Structure 1
Amino acid sequence: MYDEDELSLLEVETELESPLDLMEPLTNESEFPKPDPDEMLALLTDSQPQQRMLAARAFCDIEDARAIPHLINLLTDICPLVRVSAAYGIGRNPSPEAVEPLILQLNRDWNGYVRKGVVWALGNCRDRRSLAPLTDALKTDIPAVRLWAASALVQMVNISYEAVVGTMPPLISALVQDPVAAVRSNCAWAIGQLCRELPSNVIYATAIDALIQAFAEDVDLGVREDSKSALLGVGDTRGLQMIETLEQEGWF
C-alpha cells in the first residue's frame, strides 16, 4: 500500500518509544505552568501554520474537550507538522467523534509521521471501529507505522473479548512473517499483553504457539528475547516448559 522507501523518513530503531517521546515538551512543568488552554484554543485557528502546530502540540499536555473539534479539523491541514501534532493532541484527548476522521486520514495521508501519530491516536480512542484500520495498517503500511499499529491493537483489551479475538490473527501473522525484526518484537509484546486477558481456549493456545515458535525459530535474537519475555509475563505452563527445555539444550 505504501512505498517502503518511506522508511528513510522514520527511524524504525527508535519507534518502540512513545511517539511523544520524540517531541520536546512546550514547557518544563518543574519551572513553568502548562500553556493557557484559552490561549491555545485561539491559536488552533491561527492563520500561521507554526502557531497552529504549537497550539496542537500544547494539547498533548492539556486535556480539554473544547479542543477536539479544532484538532479534528487540523487533521486535514495543509502542513504535515500541524497534522501530526493534531493527531498526537487527539491521542491525549481521545473522543468517539474523532475516530472516523482519524480513520479517513490514516487511509489518505501520504506522510508516514502523520499516519504513525494517527495510529497511536486511534489506539487511545479505544473504539471498536479502530480494529479494521489498525489491522490493515499492521499488514500494509511502512515498518514504523506497522510497529505502532501492533502497540495500538493492545487497546482492544479495553473494548471487548470479541475485539481481542479479532486482533490475534493479524498479530500472529506479523509475528511470524513481518520482514522487520522491530515489528515482530512489538507483535510478541502485544500478543503477550492480550494473552493475559484471554481464557484458556483455542485462541489463547494459538497465540502461545506463535510465541513459542518465535522464541525457538526467529532469526533475530531480540525477537526471541521479546517472545520469551511475553511467555514469562503470561506465565503459561507450556510456554515456561519450552523455555526451560530449550535453554537446557543450550539453544541460545
Structure 2
Amino acid sequence: MTTISLGYLRNALHAGCASAVARVLDAHEAEVEFVDADPGELPGLLDEGAIDLLVSAWLPRDADLVQHGMRVLGTIYRPYYCWGSYEAVSSAAELSGDSLDALFVARSDAEKLQQVLAQTPNLSGLTPTICEDEALFGTVQGAREAGRKFVVFLAQPHALFHDEAFQPVSDPRFSEEMEAALLVRESVAACADQDMLDELSEMTLGNKVMSALEYAIQVDNMDPEEAAEAWQRGRLVAR
C-alpha cells in the first residue's frame, strides 16, 4: 500500500481541506499520514521530504513553496482578501471610522491589514482589534450580539461566510482571486497512481464548501474527518 504524507497548515480551514483530500487518497487505497505545520515550518519540512502532498498553497502569495521540489497539481478553491460585514455596505468607500465601533482582524492577517490601512484614509482613525485566528469567529459574533457596528478584514473562505448574512464588501484592491493549489512532490508524482493524480488535479471544493468545513470544525466542534465525511455525503452545503 502506498503511503502519502499529507501536509497542511495548523488551523481549522486547512485541516478540513486536508481531510477532504484524504478521502480521495483513501478511495485509491493510499495510506495517509497527516503532517500539520505552522507557516514558518513548511519550507524546512518540504526540504526534508516530510511532505508528499501539500494542502494548500495560496498562489501567487505562497509561490516560493513550489521551489522545494514541488509542483502544482490542481486548484481546490479560490481565496481572496476582503472586508466583511453584516451591514448592507456596497463598497469599501462607504466604510468610515466615524460610523464604526470596531475593526477586527485575525493575527495571521494583521500585517496585511496594516499595509491596507495605509491606503485607506477613511478608516485611519480606527485601531484594529487583533484576535487569535481561532478566536475571530467568537469575537465577531460577540460584537454582533452586543449591537456593535464593525467591519472585519479577513480572507474568504472563512467560517464567518457560512452565514449568508455576512458578506464581502467590494474593494477593487482585493478583486484578484488567488489559487489554493495542491502541491505534489515531483519524485512522488513520478511513481504515484496516475488515476489518483488525475482525480486530485480535478478536485474542486470551492469557497462555499471551505467556509462550511471550517464552520463545522470550529463552531460545531466536529473533528476534521467527520466534517469531511459530512461534506462528501452532502450534509454541509447543497452540492
TM-score by length of 1: 0.22
Larger Rg: 1
- The structure that is helix-richer by fraction is 1
TM-score by length of 2: 0.23
